[in-house]
A and B are shown apart, each in its own frame.
Chain A
Amino acid sequence: MYLVFSLVMLFVGGTMAMVIRSELLSPGLQFVNPDFFNQMTTMHALVMIFGAIMPAFVGLANWMVPLMIGAPDMALPRMNNLSFWILPFAFTILLSTLFMAGGAPAGGWTMYPPLVLQTGDAFPFLIFSIHLMGLSSIMGAINIIVTIINMRAPDMSLLKMPMFVWSWLITAYLLIAVMPVLAGAVTMLLTDQFFGTSFFLAAGGGDPVMYQHIFWFFGHPEVYIMILPAFGVVSEIIPTFARKPLFGHDSMVYAISAIAFLSFIVWAHHMFTVGMPLTGQLFFMFATMLIAVPTGVKIFNWTATMWRGAMTFETPMLFALAFLFLFTIGGFSGVMTAIVPADIQYQDSYFVVAHFHYVLVPGALFAILGAVYYWLPKWTGRRYDEKLGQIHFWLTAIFVNVTFFPMHFLGLAGMPRRIPDYATQFSDWNFVASIGAFGFGLSQLLFVYIVISCMRGRGEPATAEVWDHPKGLEWTVPSPAPYHTFEEPPRIPSAQTFS
């Protein structure tokens, strides 16, 4: 249900992206007025982050974590149900703001005061829906941690756990640590607006920059909440199709833990231009660059896993490989933006838009698509059409680059982000990016067709193993997996680690 919900939200957020790219297809104002354009950029981000990427990974965790650790189901099924059903309500509230007086929130997903306090009737609904999303995430995270800690097969020690389970354990701790921070920040916004407080209002002695600090103390770990499970997925897919065990399983665990720790001490790199002391700039610059070390360990380990492996290139593997190449591009532009003097130039330009879309689309989204192809036969009992899967991959991979790569050039040439109109010198690359975006959006309809075909029982029946001798407990149960698995805890050979 999480996965279906996130697919629907992917298309809702995608439609908003199409509105944005239609407006930016050529210079001048064509289709929408500037205020509505700003509503679209804000809502696109909120819907994609909280409605598409996060619920998709929670959905994968709900389905796969119990199977991978040898548990019958999640530890707290009722809380699971509640945490899911909060989401449709939260997003109905959020999307209904499009029809309210003053329109939807338009101050950006970061909701910086004092701008966000100018939102019309939508403001309290925005705050309420953010609280609901946070509540849902925290409950989901509690459930995942409790399941992993308490429900593992008796022989499965922590360091024997598959990487996807490890990545989710760490992500869930991150969620519990930072979602309350966001809730606290938006609660203070609410009281500033309606109850006469001045947490962030300079006129009342408050500090608007403090909001930015608090928001990004949530916001940067949030980036890793969206990417660590992707690391887990890729660490499952690559060993299966390279037919080798994951190189450096334990070092992967330590690398993910290091990334999670570092994510708490780099938040101010999102706000280098607020006028912080030089020592602060230097600290946050070097701390940010340090993240490249554990990330490099992971990229090295994935590459070493493939080294001299008997590789085949089915659709999940193609998505995992594209993840490796394209996420690294996003990582490199991240190191570029971490350099303070350079960042002052990149700040608020399309270069930043290019950077985070490379991290989130060929990063997080490709991992989700790869995971769906990888586990779809296990869920539905049917193999997807490999040829269509490959076509979907190539269309997606080509269009994603056509869409987002030109944004680097636009940013470096000085095009600011969050604008509905631009100077004519930017028109060529904007045209290319818009065409890429339309192609990318249309290609995803093929994905929906492939998934629905499997769900409706078309395609060859899948065996329990599905792939060529993959490792992991999920491949020991029949396809489709029964509602409750491992009523008797499975026994695991003492030397075996998974993935």
Chain B
Amino acid sequence: MKKGRRSPGSVRATALWLAAIAVAIYVGFILLGVIRG
């Protein structure tokens, strides 16, 4: 990475957060189905 760019660690952390949100929504909606179904 050149000077002025964010670090690879920061890139990875952002990506992992977003992936975790996606998984949480997936599980959340199936749980919604379990409660309502």
Contact = CB atoms under 8 A, between A and B. Distances in A.
A198 B37 contact: yes
Interface in A130-171: 138, 141-143, 145-146, 149-151, 153-154
Contacts of A214: 29, 32-33
A199 to B, nearest CB: 4
Contacts of B22: 138, 142, 176, 179-180
A150 B37 contact: no
A184 interface: yes
Nearest to A201: B37
Interface residues of B, number: 25
B8 to A, nearest CB: 9
B11 A207 contact: no
Nearest to A188: B33
B4 A154 contact: yes
Contacts of B18: 141-142, 145-146, 176
Given A142-B18, A145-B14, A207 B36 contact: yes
B contact patch SS? helix
A184 B11 contact: no
B29 A181 contact: yes
B11 A146 contact: yes
Interface in A164-208: 176-177, 179-181, 183-185, 187-188, 197-200, 205-207
A488 interface: yes
Contacts of B33: 184, 188, 199, 210, 214
Nearest to A181: B29
B37 A489 contact: no
B2 A185 contact: no
A76 interface: yes
Contacts of A75: 11, 15
A449 to B, nearest CB: 40
Contacts of A141: 18
A145 B4 CA distance: 18
Contacts of B26: 180-181, 183-184, 187
Contacts of A185: 29
A468 interface: no
A66 B1 CA distance: 15
B34 to A, nearest CB: 8
B28 to A, nearest CB: 8
A380 B10 CA distance: 34
Contacts of B5: 71, 150-151, 489
B20 to A, nearest CB: 10
Contacts of B15: 75-76, 79, 142-143, 146
A185 B29 CA distance: 8
A200 B29 CA distance: 14
Interface of A: 71-72, 75-76, 79, 138, 141-143, 145-146, 149-151, 153-154, 176-177, 179-181, 183-185, 187-188, 197-200, 205-207, 210, 214, 487-489
Interface of B: 2-6, 10-11, 14-15, 18-19, 21-23, 25-30, 32-34, 36-37
5 A-B pairs with least C-beta separation: A184-B29, A180-B26, A199-B37, A180-B25, A150-B6
Given A71-B5, A153-B4, 13 more contacts: A76-B11, A141-B18, A142-B22, A143-B15, A149-B14, A154-B4, A176-B21, A180-B26, A184-B25, A184-B29, A188-B30, A199-B34, A489-B5
19 contacts: A75-B15, A138-B22, A141-B18, A145-B18, A149-B14, A150-B10, A177-B25, A180-B26, A180-B29, A184-B25, A184-B27, A185-B29, A188-B37, A197-B37, A199-B34, A199-B37, A206-B37, A210-B33, A489-B2
